[in-house]
Structure 1
């Protein structure tokens, strides 16, 4: 049983999460999150903690951003588009039980002052070819998978590296793996 409440988009996501792990969920009802849902998320954060697990698409990212701004200390779990894809579409509800479990095992929390000593800098992204590179989008997608923080544009990727306390060692290991794969 997962102690934290898991924020998902809808009922089908709740069904998928409960099928994969023992957990309680809060459904946002889509990207137009109401004030009452945000208050429930705040209360859940105070009492049990919160993990955001949304679809790897634009509306899912919008929900993640809204919740993060309102509840800055929440944790995040990410599914890649491949993990969340089925013949019926892309979303948490289409992910396998194993993919959901893996995402929840790789959950990331917000950074603390102690983490800043080894934080990823913009120059690290530049040197790794994750920005200002002909294949930067593809490289960020793979690095996001390896680091468990999902795909994002360059600015958001950097922000996630900071927010989820990606260390230089983790970053270097993921970069090395990606380069061994020939990407």
Structure 2
């Protein structure tokens, strides 16, 4: 699979792993101390070919994603659930630990952020599905993030991310039906 956009990753190990999975060019941020020069490279790449932000599913990775997204509007986003990015022998988490198949799936489920718009999914929808305000809400949000490839969120972030990625009420309902069915089989 060839990726047209330039993929923003955290380091050289991420680049090496992505190149095992797909044909793609990358820009490495070299961790969360991302500097202005790297941001300018990302901005140039966005103008020429488009950019996919594919950072580790941890706090520093989300911080980098936010910095790049603020500096370079219009980037696409790929997410990898934390359990698919865990190292086998230590507690490390990162794209470099994921399988080729998981990287290909994440890059095949890329989202483009859109301006927030009311009306797609409401807070009441989230309450009805037990995604906020309930005893198993956190676990359900994690499952939903995996199911929809939107990453892990807290209660406040979920509504915004669902609407920014233009997830429809129908898509949410279908995903939640699968999650509820899975829960009943546990």
Give the TM-score range, shorter chain: over 0.9
**How do residues 31-70 of structure 1 correspond to structure 2 at under 5 angstroms?**
31-70=32-71
**How do residues 40-119 of structure 1 correspond to structure 2 at under 5 angstroms?**
40-87=41-88, 88=90, 89-111=92-114, 116=117, 119=120
Q: Residues 93-122 of structure 1: CA distance to partner in whole angstroms, max 9, x if unpaired?
A: 000000000000010012268xx5862222
Measure the CA separation in 2 of the matches of 1:69 and 1:162: 18
Measure the CA separation in 2 of the matches of 1:126 and 1:151: 17
Corresponding position of 1:4: 5
Check whether the contact 1:137–1:153 (CA below 8 A) recurs between aligned residues: yes
Check whether the contact 1:118–1:167 (CA below 8 A) recurs between aligned residues: no
Between 12-21 and 65-74, the greater mean CA deviation after superposition: 65-74
4+ runs deviating over 3 angstroms:
none
TM-score with structure 2 length normalisation? 0.93
> How many residues of Structure 1 are paired with residues of Structure 2 in the alignment?
181
Measure the CA separation in 1 of the matches of 2:160 and 2:34: 23
Check whether the contact 2:118–2:163 (CA below 8 A) recurs between aligned residues: no
Check whether the contact 1:56–1:78 (CA below 8 A) recurs between aligned residues: yes
Over 3 Å counting, the alpha-carbon distance change for 1:118 and 1:98 in structure 2 is: farther
Corresponding position of 1:137: 138
**How do residues 7-26 of structure 1 correspond to structure 2 at under 5 angstroms?**
7-26=8-27
Measure the CA separation in 2 of the matches of 1:111 and 1:120: 14
Unaligned 5+ runs, structure 2: none
